[in-house]
Structure 1
Amino acid sequence: MQDTPYAQTNPPRRRGGGRLLVGLVLIVILALGGAGAWLAAREGWLRLDLGPMASSSGDVPAAVASEAVVAAASSAASDAVLASTSAKVSALEQRLAELNQQANAAAGQASRAEALLVAFAARRAIERGQPLGILENQLRVRFGASQPGAVDRVIAAAAHPVTLGNLSEELAGIEPQLMGKTPRGNTWDWISGQIAGLFVIRHDEGPNATPEARADHARLALAGGRVDAAISDVERMPGKDAATEWLAHARDWVAAQHALDQLETAAMVLPAPQPLPPVAAPAGQAPAQAAPQPTPTPSPAPQAAQTDTAA
């Protein structure tokens, strides 16, 4: 015998009563909360302290103003530092320009001194009858452009040296011929010349013009370095034809001395370096001044205290 299964059905649950209960509980809770809030407000339990909030709201404009003042002070300080730095840089540039000008002037003075030393050394070599050596190249470098003729004259004089000692020795050797003491032509002409020399008419105010006197004057002139005066005396002596070679040497010596004088003068008048223009300061920039002190930032604390007091 088989048991026939059958479904057992549960009785339906009542949901309406549960919802009503929940609603009543919520109403009670809200009522209790409202009553508690009313009681707390009445007794002052829920009094809010608005002082800090008011103080905070009052601090906002003060903080903004403080930041603006700080920014302005920082900008002013930065501008002052920049202006001071620019002024210092300009002063340094001016100083560098002055130092450069002084260096150029010193270089010009040194160039003059070197040129004078070269000219003096060349004169000493010429007066001693010595070769120029390396001075020849220095003469061409320093004076070749401005005094080419004088340089060539000095170099030629060094190639064929003539000294005061040489001129004095040559003059002493031809002195008898200069004074006409050497017989020329026949004996009668020589005797006539000697007799004519015994009678010389001179003015009282005029110098002694005898050949012996001129020879003595020429020797003294050579001893004193006045070769021009010695040449003038020799040219006026009776036997001047015998002094052709001596006169050529003497004139070469005089020309060499004149050339050396030209070189020394050129060395002393070398053009000085041109002064540099002053360095102009940038436009709108004043001379270097002390940087202004930054403006102190006011403290917002008193305003906040006033806000708290007002609250």
Structure 2
Amino acid sequence: MGGAGAWLAAREGWLRLDLGPMASSSGDVPAAVASEAVVAAASSAASDAVLASTSAKVSALEQRLAELNQQANAAAGQASRAEALLVAFAARRAIERGQPLGILENQLRVRFGASQPGAVDRVIAAAAHPVTLGNLSEELAGIEPQLMGKTPRGNTWDWISGQIAGLFVIRHDEGPNATPEARADHARLALAGGRVDAAISDVERMPGKDAATEWLAHARDWVAAQHALDQLETAAMVLPAPQPLPPVAAPAGQAPAQAAPQPTPTPSPAPQAAQTDTAA
């Protein structure tokens, strides 16, 4: 009877239902949902901004690492040139002193075997059969009488022929160097100054040059070894420089981050007034 009475009272207007608070509460639900959407969009935009900043820092670090790598390669190239020059200089010192190459032989093959194989073989051969300026000077002093046409152990006719040959000298453009004695002096001075080519030229023009066959061979070997050492030193100075590295590109799939669009707040629907049944 209680439920039927309430229904009858409401129908006849005896009882009014106040649904205002309930309707107001139901109208606040869309507004709360819209507020949560705005907060979520702002949080997503902040995350995108942090991700973009991190990506930029990573790209800058990669670029810096690439620059450091390039600098390291350049330094390695300079160090390689310096080491090659040291090997070439050490080989020259050993050759000029008539000393064996030792471990330098392997270093010469490693550093110059591919680019200057002939020069390397010549230097190694010169070290196996050393010839120094001191040796050349001593040998020249030993054969100097034969070079000037003096044959103390020959017969009288040979001695007279040598003296007569020294009286008749064909002078070109060499001034006093045309005489055997002057040529011998010039050859000694040339050897003292390391100008073996000039000494060879003087010996080849002396009357007894046939006695200098062995000396000429040794002198030419010395000159060939010096030319080979010059080639090695030049090759060490012109070693190719390391190629620069290409610029570091951004990793695939890492497009520049863009700011997320701000969401447009959705207007809240107007609360609907509660309808009450009126009595018919």
**TM-score when normalising by structure 2:** 0.79
**Among candidates 232, 253, 268, match of residue 299 of structure 1:** 268
Pairwise CA distance, 1:145: 2.1
Relative to structure 1, the CA distance from residue 197 to residue 301 in structure 2 (aligned partners, 3 Å threshold; closer, same or farther) is farther
- Provide the rounded CA distance (Å) in 1 between the counterparts of 2:33 and 2:40: 11
Q: Deviations over 1:213-237 (max 9, x none)?
A: 1111111111111111111111011
Relative to structure 1, the CA distance from residue 255 to residue 295 in structure 2 (aligned partners, 3 Å threshold; closer, same or farther) is farther
The answer to whether the Cα contact below 8 Å between 1:66 and 1:297 also exists between their aligned partners in 2 is no
Does residue 69 of structure 1 match 2:51?
A: no
Pairwise CA distance, 1:45: 13
- Provide the rounded CA distance (Å) in 1 between the counterparts of 2:85 and 2:141: 35
Once the two structures are aligned, what percentage of the paired residues are identical? Answer: 100
The answer to whether the Cα contact below 8 Å between 2:122 and 2:224 also exists between their aligned partners in 1 is yes
Relative to structure 1, the CA distance from residue 231 to residue 294 in structure 2 (aligned partners, 3 Å threshold; closer, same or farther) is farther
The answer to whether the Cα contact below 8 Å between 1:150 and 1:263 also exists between their aligned partners in 2 is yes
Relative to structure 1, the CA distance from residue 63 to residue 176 in structure 2 (aligned partners, 3 Å threshold; closer, same or farther) is same
Which blocks of at least 5 consecutive residues in structure 2 are unaligned? none
- Provide the rounded CA distance (Å) in 1 between the counterparts of 2:255 and 2:11: 74
Pairwise CA distance, 1:255: 1.0
Relative to structure 1, the CA distance from residue 199 to residue 152 in structure 2 (aligned partners, 3 Å threshold; closer, same or farther) is closer
Relative to structure 1, the CA distance from residue 244 to residue 200 in structure 2 (aligned partners, 3 Å threshold; closer, same or farther) is closer
Pairwise CA distance, 1:160: 1.1
- Provide the rounded CA distance (Å) in 1 between the counterparts of 2:277 and 2:62: 59
Relative to structure 1, the CA distance from residue 58 to residue 202 in structure 2 (aligned partners, 3 Å threshold; closer, same or farther) is same
The answer to whether the Cα contact below 8 Å between 1:81 and 1:291 also exists between their aligned partners in 2 is no
SS of aligned partner of 1:307: coil
SS of aligned partner of 2:177: coil
The answer to whether the Cα contact below 8 Å between 2:187 and 2:203 also exists between their aligned partners in 1 is yes
**Among candidates 99, 120, 129, match of residue 98 of structure 2:** 129
- Provide the rounded CA distance (Å) in 2 between the counterparts of 1:37 and 1:172: 149
Relative to structure 1, the CA distance from residue 202 to residue 282 in structure 2 (aligned partners, 3 Å threshold; closer, same or farther) is closer
- Provide the rounded CA distance (Å) in 2 between the counterparts of 1:310 and 1:210: 156
Relative to structure 1, the CA distance from residue 229 to residue 95 in structure 2 (aligned partners, 3 Å threshold; closer, same or farther) is same
Question: Which of 1 and 2 has greater Rg?
Answer: 1
Pairwise CA distance, 1:212: 1.4
Pairwise CA distance, 1:50: 6.0
- Provide the rounded CA distance (Å) in 2 between the counterparts of 1:68 and 1:192: 124
In the alignment, which residue of structure 1 is the partner of 2:213? Answer: 244
Q: Deviations over 1:55-103 (max 9, x none)?
A: 4334323212211111111111111222222222222222222222222
- Provide the rounded CA distance (Å) in 2 between the counterparts of 1:308 and 1:211: 149
The answer to whether the Cα contact below 8 Å between 1:129 and 1:162 also exists between their aligned partners in 2 is yes
Pairwise CA distance, 1:273: 2.2
Relative to structure 1, the CA distance from residue 75 to residue 171 in structure 2 (aligned partners, 3 Å threshold; closer, same or farther) is same
Relative to structure 1, the CA distance from residue 159 to residue 221 in structure 2 (aligned partners, 3 Å threshold; closer, same or farther) is same
Relative to structure 1, the CA distance from residue 205 to residue 253 in structure 2 (aligned partners, 3 Å threshold; closer, same or farther) is closer
- Provide the rounded CA distance (Å) in 2 between the counterparts of 1:302 and 1:238: 133
- Provide the rounded CA distance (Å) in 1 between the counterparts of 2:11 and 2:185: 151
- Provide the rounded CA distance (Å) in 1 between the counterparts of 2:278 and 2:176: 127
SS of aligned partner of 2:271: helix
Q: Which deviates the most, 290-299 or 142-151?
A: 290-299
Pairwise CA distance, 1:165: 0.9
The answer to whether the Cα contact below 8 Å between 1:94 and 1:278 also exists between their aligned partners in 2 is yes
The answer to whether the Cα contact below 8 Å between 1:55 and 1:307 also exists between their aligned partners in 2 is no
**TM-score when normalising by structure 1:** 0.72
Relative to structure 1, the CA distance from residue 257 to residue 202 in structure 2 (aligned partners, 3 Å threshold; closer, same or farther) is closer
The answer to whether the Cα contact below 8 Å between 2:109 and 2:120 also exists between their aligned partners in 1 is yes
- Provide the rounded CA distance (Å) in 1 between the counterparts of 2:96 and 2:70: 39
Relative to structure 1, the CA distance from residue 92 to residue 166 in structure 2 (aligned partners, 3 Å threshold; closer, same or farther) is same
Pairwise CA distance, 1:289: 11
Relative to structure 1, the CA distance from residue 82 to residue 140 in structure 2 (aligned partners, 3 Å threshold; closer, same or farther) is same
- Provide the rounded CA distance (Å) in 2 between the counterparts of 1:100 and 1:50: 76
Pairwise CA distance, 1:201: 6.0
- Provide the rounded CA distance (Å) in 2 between the counterparts of 1:200 and 1:97: 74
Pairwise CA distance, 1:112: 1.7
- Provide the rounded CA distance (Å) in 1 between the counterparts of 2:163 and 2:277: 144
SS of aligned partner of 2:275: helix
SS of aligned partner of 1:308: coil
Pairwise CA distance, 1:270: 2.1
- Provide the rounded CA distance (Å) in 2 between the counterparts of 1:98 and 1:141: 30
